[in-house]
Amino acid sequence: MFQHWIRYSHDGNTGFGTLSGDRIDVYRGNMFANPEPTGKTLSLSAVKLLMPTQPSKVIALWNNFAALGEKLGLAVPAEPLYLLKAPNTFANPGDVIRQPRCEGKVVYEGELGIVIGKTATAVTEANAANHVFGYTCANDVTVADILNRDASFTQWVRAKGFDTFCPMGPAIATGLDATKLVVRTTLNGSLRQDFPISDMRFSVSKLVSLISADMTLFPGDVILCGTSIGVGSMKPGSDVEIEIAGIGTLRNRYE
């Protein structure tokens, strides 16, 4: 069923519900386990949007898009290559992405996020879709210069682990065919990324199956599918938007 699920803050309280235009239908309980409609509504303009899930972990893919892999001359991976983004990186739609205290080029990476809806441990590829709740937008922000600063150790976690370096939102969309989605990233109104999810080396079902064989995925966890051609640097004062038709637009400012 196609729905847009959101989390919000209103009058000092947090809540969740479904979005229909500018109206929020308020729910109670657990978004991922039989949520109950309350019959109450709120205006979107009356709330602050929060990131739509509170994951125990965010898993971020590397070299998962053929176009970028071919451009960089990377071998096709035999299995998903990934890292974890720490909870301190999580940020809401509209939050400021804060400039790190260290020097280095900070880049945006527009990505599709797979939101897990049911606990997954070593699920089969055929059954993986039953564990996916929906999809969201994300920006996997990175200090690119840190990655290979030390020749003995690629610093994935530090480069991608600064505070506010993982905005997500604005909603989780359910009932979508991920293979038909397109990620578009704009920087200060200029289109920088425009790539299809169908170009992924590992499909949604394969990612959920293979990663769940390594670690249990819990409801609300997010798998960032990786990025493609068009990654670029952000200067302080930049506005960056990640748009995926059918999900929405994630907007943040880098300061």
Q: Which residues pair with 110 in a beta bridge?
A: 139
Are 137 and 242 in contact, with CB atoms under 8 Å apart?
Answer: yes
Q: Please give the Cα distance from 142 to 136 (Å, whole number).
A: 19
Q: What is the structure's pLDDT at 34?
A: 93
How far is the CA of 75 from the CAs of 66, 115, 198, 201, in angstroms? 10, 28, 19, 11
Contact (CB, 8 A) for 111 and 138:
yes
Q: Which domains, ranges and CATH numbers included, belong to the chain? A: 1-50 (2.30.30.370), 51-254 (3.90.850.10)
As a whole number, mean pLDDT of residues 230-239 equals 97
Residues 85 and 165 sit within 8 Å (Cβ to Cβ):
yes
Give the torsion sign (CA, 193, 196, 201, 206). positive
Mean pLDDT of the chain: 97
Which element (helix H / strand E) includes 41? strand 33-43
21-50 in b/e form (b: 16+ CB < 10 A) is eeebebbeeebbeeeeeeeeebeeeebebb
Count the residues in the chain. 255
Q: CA angle at residue 211 from 240 to 132, to 5 degrees?
A: 65
Q: Distance between CA atoms of 99 and 110, rounded to whole angstroms?
A: 18
pLDDT digits (tens, 9 = 90+) for 147-188: 999 999 999 999 999 999 999 999 999 999 999 999 999 999
Q: What is the pLDDT of residue 1?
A: 83
What pLDDT, in 10s, does the model give residues 181-206? 999 999 999 999 999 999 999 999 99
Question: Average pLDDT, stretch 59-67?
Answer: 98
pLDDT score of 57 = 98
Question: What average pLDDT does the segment 52-61 reach?
Answer: 98
Q: What's the confidence (pLDDT) of residue 140?
A: 98
Percent of the chain with pLDDT over 70: 100
How far is the CA of 123 from the CAs of 87, 132, 208, 210, in angstroms? Answer: 25, 11, 8, 8
Give the model's confidence band at 45: pLDDT under 50 very low, under 70 low, under 90 confident, else very high: very high
Report pLDDT for 15: 98
| pLDDT, tens digit (0-9, with 9 covering 90-100), for 92-105 | 999 999 999 998 99
Locate all alpha helices (DSSP H) within the chain, ordered by sequence. 66-72, 156-160, 204-214
3-class DSSP state for residue 3?
A: strand
Q: Dump pLDDT digits (tens) for 120-137.
A: 999 999 999 999 999 999
